């Protein structure tokens, strides 16, 4: 494992996502020990090893609150591809929180649904899209937006189609925390694994802060830890 604090973000390079999950868990534990009570959570393949390590741990979240980044509009919480279902399966069934907020994809009233969000988060975990998205904040998203309704880009629909029978079944809209919501978190942990993320990782850390690469706004946060495997870190100029 190598660490570098020379850049604006604390970058940790690990061997693989298993080691990344252990490292992610340590960051959760440190926040927990310091009194964090509100945890911002992500779905997707990236955080699974961290959730596995949380499940295997003795950390008790039964007095804590979790808030999820996003949810597809139109999917019921018990739909197998809903983010609500994912969270139940990977974390909440084994590690219940006192309150878990996942956007309700069946609420057609976006304003009503959004009103439940954007409260302060102590530790937010993020994955990274190949196009640099965080949450469902696609390239070009206004960074001032809080939680909002998003029309998914074709590249995200194609990337997520692997979880559905075909791309036509991927919902076209999602509710997502905005970049402004994410930036309000006290601490951020972003994990990225695999060579296919290497270009987005490089642009996020070493490129300009630009709406073209939403994750680049994290350079302005001040308390971001990035955990990468060697593939995702392969294009960085690590010193």
Residue closer to ligand F6R, measured from CB, 20 or 135: 135
Q: Is 46 in the site for ligand F6R (CB under 6 A)?
A: yes
Active site residue 70: yes
Q: Is 87 in the site for ligand F6R (CB under 6 A)?
A: no
Residue closer to ligand F6R, measured from CB, 25 or 237: 25
Which residue has its beta carbon closest to ligand F6R?
127
Within 10 angstroms of residue 158's Cβ, the number of other Cβ atoms is 12
- Site residues (CB under 6 A) for ligand F6R, limited to 128-167: 128-129, 133-136
CA 92, 95, 98, 101 dihedral sign is: negative
Residue closer to ligand F6R, measured from CB, 90 or 133: 133
- CA angle, 164 then 168 then 174, to 5°: 75
Cα of 177 vs its chain's centroid, Å:
10
Residue closer to ligand F6R, measured from CB, 67 or 69: 69
Active site residue 138: yes
Which residue spans within 121-186 are E strands per DSSP?
123-126, 148-151, 173-176
- Residue 25 in contact with residue 54, Cβ under 8 Å? yes
Q: Is 103 in the site for ligand F6R (CB under 6 A)?
A: no
- Residue 155 in contact with residue 132, Cβ under 8 Å? no
- CA angle, 53 then 51 then 46, to 5°: 115
Active site residue 133: yes
Active site residue 93: no
Catalytic residues: 70, 131, 133, 138
Site residues (vs ligand F6R, CB under 6 A)? 42-46, 69-70, 127-129, 133-136
């Amino acid at each position: 494992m190598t660490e570098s604090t020379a850049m604006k973000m604390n970058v940790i390079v690990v061997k693989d996502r298993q080691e990344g999950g252990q490292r992610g868990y340590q960051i959760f534990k440190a926040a927990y020990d310091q009194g964090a009570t509100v945890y911002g959570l992500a779905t997707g393949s990236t955080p699974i090893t961290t959730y596995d390590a949380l499940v295997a741990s003795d950390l008790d979240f039964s007095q804590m609150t979790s808030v999820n980044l996003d949810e597809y509009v139109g999917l019921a919480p018990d739909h197998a591809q809903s983010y609500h279902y994912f969270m139940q399966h990977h974390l909440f069934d084994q590690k219940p929180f006192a309150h878990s907020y996942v956007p309700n994809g069946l609420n057609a009233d976006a304003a009503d649904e959004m009103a439940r969000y954007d409260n302060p988060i102590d530790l937010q975990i993020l994955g990274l899209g190949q196009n640099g998205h965080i949450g469902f904040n696609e390239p070009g998203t206004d960074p001032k937006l809080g939680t909002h309704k998003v029309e998914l880009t074709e590249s995200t629909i194609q990337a997520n189609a692997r979880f559905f029978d075909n791309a036509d079944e991927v919902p076209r809209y999602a509710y997502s925390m905005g970049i402004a919501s994410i930036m309000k978190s006290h601490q951020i942990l972003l994990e990225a694994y695999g060579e296919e993320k290497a270009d987005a990782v490089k642009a996020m850390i070493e490129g300009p802060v630009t709406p073209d690469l939403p994750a680049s706004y994290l350079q302005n946060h001040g308390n971001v830890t990035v955990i990468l495997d060697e593939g995702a870190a392969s294009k960085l100029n690590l010193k």
